Structure 1
Amino acid sequence: MNSNQPLISVIMPAYNAEKYIAESIESVLNQTFKDFELIILDDASSDKTKNIVLSYAQNDDRIVYVGKQCNHGPATLRNEGISLAKGNFIALNDADDLSETTRFEKQITVFNNHPNVAVCGSWILNFGDNIDSYVFEAPQDPIAIKLLFLSYNCLANSSAMFRKSCVENLEYQKEFVPAEDYKLWSEVIVKQDFYIIQEALVHYRQHENNISKTKADNLAISDLKIKTEMFKDIFDLNDSDFDYKKLVNFFEILANRMKLGQNEIFSFFEMAQRIIKINKEKTVFPEVLFQNRIEELLTKPFIYSKINPFFVIQLQRKFPNELKLLNRKGVFKKLINFKNFE
């Protein structure tokens, strides 16, 4: 290993992480791929985080400790870590998460075999003291990942490894915390390919101090802003094209299992019809793949909202092609319960 120029720079922000950080450090140091540096940025912790990190640094010169005098937050620390990184690749590993020993080896193999891939993640195993463990899965295909990104962030941040060159002039934006990773990836994915390894190479620890829980109030606002901007960029839309912002808002409402009124459902179908046409004209996504995704979205009003049967007839007359997407799989028979009609 060239100690002056490691291939990978691992960035680990830490704040009062004494309970978990030793286990996280060891999961990095025990990697089968050894050519890396581990940059640990201590965000002015008041516990034993510093002592634990320095005890490991004494025995492994790959560890770089950066102590902060005041608290900045993980977005700022990750940006600093990227600026300090010597490697051509950046790997993220939070101070409470664990990496499987073969994680770096398998991700570097992906980059070597797929030079067009800018970001590589994996499935993750969610675990914690008070939850049943489960695996969060996502597709491998770059186009399928990009399409899914319009609905939610399917790349777990602690599983991410990326080419340092792909984030030039980009950074984690503090105002989007705890969705700052989604914001960064949403800017990268517009023009570059993502790849997700089809196994859980990272164990994501859930606990009450996860920043996604402590900053939950800002999550919904940030999420909607990110999706709206990404939707515009991926489809190369202007505000005059159609009310895509309202369409994204409907996606959010339905994702939260909230009801739509009949006028809203009509508007939702109208805008879905328009984006199907735009996708076909611009060939942003393969037509069948995109229609399958729209089909999933079009079913949600029938799941979460009460719909008058006469209104269904109006939809069929106005949106025959869109309703055919649902009829292909007998969606109406499965989803429409006439006892629930108002």
Structure 2
Amino acid sequence: MTKVSVIIPCFNAEDFVAEAIDSALGQTIADVEVVVVDDASTDGSRAIISAKAAQDSRVVPVFLERNVGPAAARNIAWTKLTGTWVTLLDADDLYLPDRLERLVSFAEAQNADVVADNLSIRHFGDDTHLAAAFPHVANGEIIRVDRAFFFKNLWNGPQKYGMGILKPMFRAKFVRENSIAYDERYRIGEDMLFYMNSILSNAKYYILGDCFYIYRKRADSISNVGDHVFTTLASMCEEILSNDKRLTTEDREHLTKRGQGLLEYFHWRQLRALRRRGDKLGFISYVIKRPSSLFYMMKMSVAWRMKRG
């Protein structure tokens, strides 16, 4: 029987980590192990994880004595797991009961290396489906992800999610044979880099349009904090462009465009903040320094008005 390892990184998640663990354990596929890495939480997370491990031997608890960040926590989990397939579950999210069975069945039928499903976006504490996180793949649709599709959809513009939002399932053998790991320098965007390394290692990668993963939005999530998200992701793009020899000319064109888009969006947000504060001098100074930010603001304004009708 195929074994699936679920990695749950945890930091100060006492209000929801039990739900996440139960969601992974409650899958219709029986052979599951749940590796929960507590990244030196200061709340009651460790006690909850310990209790779950005592109740069910499929829970593999890993307790870190110092906070190392999400990338390092994921890498540590990879040293503990034993599954044929490996996937992630954030501590504040959930799976539908048949998620793993459906993904494994499809992946093995297609001899895939990576398979992702769509995500159902919901507000935390509300079970109402708001939207699919990745609308580029419709419900019921199946996409074979090539390099062009991946890089084109790395970031899809304001108020939209890109490839990094997905929570794919990986064939463990593929990841290990290609020495793919999370870059521990980053606490944001580490998933995007991991997925990019997979596609650059020629992964046979599919996305299913069905939403089997429940993505619960929280205002205090690390990925939602601060405009530095956009500059960090843009810096990642620039570093990859400078150092990764596997990139084709087409890859470079797409990646350059994504990086530029992230920076444009960052500068627009800075300009918008100055305007909202009524800082006229700051606004003018910013425009003089970066005149392209004003043109981007005008473009955004037109786009929003057209969207509203």
Compare relative contact order (CA 8 Å, sep 6+) and give the higher one, 1 or 2.
2
Distance 1:246 1:145 in 2: 14
Q: Where does the alignment leave 5 or more consecutive residues of structure 2 unmatched? A: 156-161, 269-294
1:209 aligns with 2:220: yes
The residue aligned with 2:144 is 142
Secondary structure at the counterpart of residue 97 of structure 2: coil
| Candidates 199, 211, 220, aligned match of 1:189 | 199
Per the TM alignment, residue 236 of structure 1 is displaced from its structure 2 partner at its CA by 2.1
Distance 2:46 2:193 in 1: 30
Q: Where does the alignment leave 5 or more consecutive residues of structure 1 unmatched? A: 259-299, 307-333, 335-342
The residue aligned with 1:160 is 168
The residue aligned with 1:70 is 66
Distance 1:134 1:247 in 2: 26
The residue aligned with 1:112 is 108
C-alpha contact 2:234 2:263 (8 A) present in aligned 1: no
Larger Rg: 1
Deviations 1:251-292 (A, max 9, x none): 44566796xxxxxxxxxxxxxxxxxxxxxxxxxxxxxxxxxx
Per the TM alignment, residue 148 of structure 1 is displaced from its structure 2 partner at its CA by 4.2
One-letter identity of the residue aligned with 1:58: A
1:36 aligns with 2:32: yes
| Candidates 75, 81, 84, aligned match of 1:88 | 84
One-letter identity of the residue aligned with 1:124: L
What is the CA RMSD across the aligned residues, in angstroms? 3.5
Distance 1:159 1:207 in 2: 17
Distance 2:233 2:189 in 1: 7
Distance 1:194 1:30 in 2: 26
| Candidates 108, 113, 116, aligned match of 1:121 | 116
Secondary structure at the counterpart of residue 82 of structure 1: helix
Per the TM alignment, residue 125 of structure 1 is displaced from its structure 2 partner at its CA by 1.1
Per the TM alignment, residue 245 of structure 1 is displaced from its structure 2 partner at its CA by 7.4
Using the TM superposition, name which of 149-158 and 66-75 deviates more.
Answer: 149-158
C-alpha contact 2:152 2:254 (8 A) present in aligned 1: no
Per the TM alignment, residue 235 of structure 1 is displaced from its structure 2 partner at its CA by 5.3
Secondary structure at the counterpart of residue 34 of structure 1: coil
Deviations 1:200-246 (A, max 9, x none): 111111112211023651443334533773697665249xxx98876
Per the TM alignment, residue 128 of structure 1 is displaced from its structure 2 partner at its CA by 1.7
Distance 1:25 1:248 in 2: 35
One-letter identity of the residue aligned with 1:141: I
Percentage of identical aligned residues: 23
The residue aligned with 2:280 is none
The residue aligned with 2:52 is 56
C-alpha contact 1:176 1:222 (8 A) present in aligned 2: no
Secondary structure at the counterpart of residue 184 of structure 1: helix
Go from structure 1 to structure 2 and tell me whether the alpha carbon gap of 1:59 and 1:229 turns closer, same or farther (over 3 Å shift): same
C-alpha contact 1:9 1:90 (8 A) present in aligned 2: yes
C-alpha contact 2:99 2:212 (8 A) present in aligned 1: yes
What TM-score comes out, normalization by structure 2 length? Answer: 0.72
